[in-house]
Structure 1
Amino acid sequence: MKLLAKYNRVNVVATIIVLLLSAVIYYFFIEKTLVYQLDKNLVVEEKEIKDYIIENNALPEPSYSKDEQEVYTSVTDKNVKRSFSSVELYNKDHDENIDYRQLEFPVTVNGKFYKADVRKSQEETEDVVQLILKITLTIVLLLLAILFIINRFVLSKLWKPFNSTLEQIKQFNVSGKDNIHFEPSNINEFTELNAAVNVMTKKAIGDYNEIKSFTENASHEIQTPLAIIRSKLELLSQSENLKEEQMNAIQSISETTSRLSKLNQSLILLTKIDNRQFKETEDVNLSVLLHRHLNNYEELLNAKGIVTTKNIAEPVFVTMNETLAETLIVNLLTNAIKHNVEKGSITITLNEHALSISNTGKALNENPAIYFERFKKESASNDSMGLGLSIVKKICDTYHFTISYTHQNMMHTVTVNF
């Protein structure tokens, strides 16, 4: 979930809760206030009744209107408590029950005791409360709409620098030539974030360039000593009177030197791909390349008893550098042959969308995806350098191809989607 969506959700829920609680509190406050006002009016009515009795020595005329009632009841003693209450009474004239606010108090006329009930209708009070409630709910909905608009547009604009920074980080490539350039922001936190990311990316680029430079220099510097070693080994192998142990030692050194030379060439190739030195592109016919290299490997395949199944569409063109296309094909075929089993099989499928090479092989104990990393191989005893698939992955990344490695029922499948 995006931060803005999360904030909007929390903000809206919190706002609804606060506004609803406020509306409930406001409702009861208004209701109590209006009832209090009715009670004050009833007290005024009480005073007027008592003044009338003093002046006229008689009770006022009873009143039974819908809005106001004055009722007098004779009692035997004066122990009538003065009290306020809310009552619901049936009104015959209007044939309905009406809520009243009532004040009950004792009065004495000519030595006789009476209970006076003064009532005022609460209908208007209820109407006012309902009106206030409707207005409050309308205001709540209006506020929610305003908050939604603010969150949708104002906050989106506020977070624009952050989203821009995030997009720049996603597109950042340590091997790229351009540094990250952030949009200026008047928000201190975003400015600090951009500055921190800028420092981090510059350091990453610097460290990468140092490692790349070291790899380039080391790889090129190693070439000359390796050539000298191979030359000296050839001279030694031609010497007379060499013992068998000496010949075996020379052979072992020669094989190790060859492996080191291949490793060095692979590292140089990876460095060149990283440096984007293979800029020339053309429409390469992968169908032709596959047939050519399968013919080159025919003797090796026959020697290992490997059966090949070809499902190669004709022709399939892919826009890329021809040298890298050959490297891609060679590494995939070499990987399928080298890690195969005696009398195994290889299935090659090529169409305009993908190249898939499957081979029989031993079961894996690890996630196949790790074999796209450098120097990752099936076992330490394997004579592979663990760079073949990493070179393939680097080529695929260069041309935005996707590559996957799956393993099922002793079949290993590498698929490149163009």
Structure 2
Amino acid sequence: MRLQAKFATYNIITKIVIIISLALVFDFGAKRVAYNHLDTRILQKKQQFIKNLSGKEISEYITEQDTDFASYNVLKEEYILLKIIPPVNEKDSIGNFSNEERIIENQTSNYRILTYNFDFNKQQYQLEIGESLASIKQFQETFRNYTLLVLFVAIALTLITDFLFTGYLLKPLSAIINRRLKDVNDPSHFNFDPIETSTSDFQHLDKQLKEMLMRISTSFYTQKEFIANVSHEILTPIAILKTRFENLLNDERVSEEVQNQVYSSLNTLHWLKNVVNSLLLISKIENEQFEQEDEIDIHKQIQQISEEVEHRLEEKNIKLGLHLSHSFQFKGNEALIRTMIFNVVTNAIKYNQLNGRINILDQEINSHYELLISDTGLGIEPELLKNIFKRFGKPATIEENSNGLGLSIVKTIASFHNIDVSISSTLHKGTTIIFKFPATA
């Protein structure tokens, strides 16, 4: 996940928590505010009622039954009840508030009720003033919805501004990543142009990356020069020694024993030359000194390779079966792909049994083209498979004239082309190598 996306995710989570917390606080606060407002209004009505109270009004409001309401409005949202009560020693100068149900004309409603005891003309009375709580709930619902709307709008605006601002802040970082780390495996395409930024951390990062890339570039060209020198300094003496040994073989004065030693030395030189060439090839591939501009037809490559190894197949009477039913082409280095497949096929011949068989087939799985090369050869023990692609990781079952670099070259070429290569093997039954090519568009 990109850094900007992480910042946005963090902001979203924190703001959701803030919304929930504030909604709960506002909901509780709105309820308290509504009750305080309602209580104040009821107290004002009580004071107004007591202030204007007269004997005539008392006679109009008085009733001896608790369930009779002396006065209520048409919508039954408020009422006033006045009744005579026995003398009470303890009196509250303000009154007591409570939430209770009352029945008015067979309709039950919840009210906020003020109960107030007072004396008038040597008689004690109890005054009840009630207001419906429906208005409270309506106010609370309206306040809650309005608060949530305001919060969500505020959160949305802050998220947009945060995303834009973090994008602006991290723009130099994206430029550093795209410019400095692009083509990191190809020092010839390194870009050392300065990144414009006022953030000191990004300036330091850009400076350190530029210095690191310069060192990598220097090492890369030094390595290329070293490889070229090795190619000349090692292969040339090998060629000279090979010529001298061959001349010795043509000398009639050389005894048979010396000739055998010369043959052995020539084999050693041939082995050394193969090792050097293999290591040079691997090094060049890893340094991406090969282009990938060829349009490669896998079927054509396999057909050509099968014709080249035909004489080797006949020597061991091995049958080669081609079962290619999916046409597949891709862009890469044709010479390297040819070497990759050729090494696997020659290994399948070399380590196969007499009268054995090699099968080459293909398949398509989830838009991936797969090439499978199977043989009926010696097989490889399971504990040796994990090192089979390592350099000089030659299993004990492999003959001594192998340099242990064939499958390492295969792995290096496959990685260079983003091809996934795997191997499965059963001892004394055979081996299968699978090439999984990148998904097609």
Category of TM-score, reference length = shorter chain:
0.7 to 0.9
Q: Counterparts of 1:17-28 in structure 2 under 5 Å? A: 17-28=17-28
Residue 222 of structure 2 is aligned to residue 210 of structure 1: yes
Cα separation, 2, equivalents of 1:354 and 1:42: 84
1:19 match: secondary structure: helix
Summarize deviations over 1:40-63 as a string: whole Å, max 9, x none: 34444454555556x879958535
Structure 2 residue aligned with 1:71, among 62, 65, 82? 82
Q: Which residue of 2 aligns with 1:179?
A: 190
Structure 2 CA distance for partners of 1:99 and 1:47, relative to 1, 3 Å: closer
Cα separation, 2, equivalents of 1:110 and 1:403: 104
Shift of 1:222: 0.8
Aligned pair count reads: 411
Cα separation, 2, equivalents of 1:72 and 1:280: 104
Cα separation, 2, equivalents of 1:279 and 1:107: 102
Read off the aligned partner of 1:289 and give its amino acid letter: Q
Q: Which residue of 2 aligns with 1:404?
A: 421
Q: Counterparts of 1:81-120 in structure 2 under 5 Å? A: 81=92, 83-93=95-105, 95-104=107-116, 106-120=117-131
Q: Which residue of 2 aligns with 1:286?
A: 301
Q: Which residue of 2 aligns with 1:387?
A: 405
- TM-score for both structures, normalised by structure 1: 0.77
The answer to whether the Cα contact below 8 Å between 1:101 and 1:119 also exists between their aligned partners in 2 is yes
2:271 match: secondary structure: helix
Q: Counterparts of 1:4-403 in structure 2 under 5 Å? A: 4-48=4-48, 51=51, 59=58, 62=61, 64-66=71-73, 67-81=78-92, 83-93=95-105, 95-104=107-116, 106-147=117-158, 149-150=160-161, 155=166, 159-163=170-174, 165-167=176-178, 171-180=182-191, 184-234=196-246, 238=251, 240=253, 242=255, 244=257, 249-271=261-283, 273=285, 274=287, 276=289, 285-286=300-301, 289-295=304-310, 298=311, 300-311=312-323, 323-324=335-336, 327-349=339-361, 356-360=372-376, 361-365=378-382, 371-379=388-396, 382-396=400-414, 400=417, 402-403=419-420
2:85 match: secondary structure: strand
Summarize deviations over 1:205-240 as a string: whole Å, max 9, x none: 333333332232123201222233334434555474
The answer to whether the Cα contact below 8 Å between 2:96 and 2:115 also exists between their aligned partners in 1 is yes
Cα separation, 2, equivalents of 1:51 and 1:382: 120
Shift of 1:197: 3.4
Cα separation, 2, equivalents of 1:190 and 1:233: 63
Summarize deviations over 1:86-136 as a string: whole Å, max 9, x none: 2334352583414123142x3223333333333344443433222211211
Q: Which residue of 1 aligns with 2:64?
A: none
Cα separation, 1, equivalents of 2:169 and 2:146: 32
Cα separation, 2, equivalents of 1:87 and 1:190: 64
Structure 2 CA distance for partners of 1:201 and 1:73, relative to 1, 3 Å: farther
Range 196-205 or range 363-372, more displaced: 363-372
Shift of 1:166: 4.5
Structure 2 CA distance for partners of 1:130 and 1:412, relative to 1, 3 Å: closer
Cα separation, 1, equivalents of 2:97 and 2:328: 94
CA-based RMSD: 4.3
Cα separation, 2, equivalents of 1:282 and 1:136: 64
Range 73-82 or range 26-35, more displaced: 73-82
Cα separation, 1, equivalents of 2:389 and 2:171: 37
The answer to whether the Cα contact below 8 Å between 2:381 and 2:425 also exists between their aligned partners in 1 is no
Structure 2 CA distance for partners of 1:9 and 1:75, relative to 1, 3 Å: farther
Cα separation, 2, equivalents of 1:215 and 1:136: 72
Shift of 1:362: 1.2
Cα separation, 2, equivalents of 1:287 and 1:378: 27
Shift of 1:340: 2.9
Structure 2 CA distance for partners of 1:386 and 1:208, relative to 1, 3 Å: farther
- TM-score for both structures, normalised by structure 2: 0.74
Structure 2 residue ranges without an equivalent (≥5):
62-69
The answer to whether the Cα contact below 8 Å between 2:282 and 2:409 also exists between their aligned partners in 1 is yes
Q: Which residue of 1 aligns with 2:435?
A: 415
Structure 2 CA distance for partners of 1:43 and 1:328, relative to 1, 3 Å: closer
Shift of 1:85: 1.9
Structure 1 residue ranges without an equivalent (≥5):
none
2:275 match: secondary structure: helix
Shift of 1:194: 3.6
Read off the aligned partner of 2:152 and give its amino acid letter: L
The answer to whether the Cα contact below 8 Å between 1:286 and 1:318 also exists between their aligned partners in 2 is no
Cα separation, 2, equivalents of 1:9 and 1:323: 48
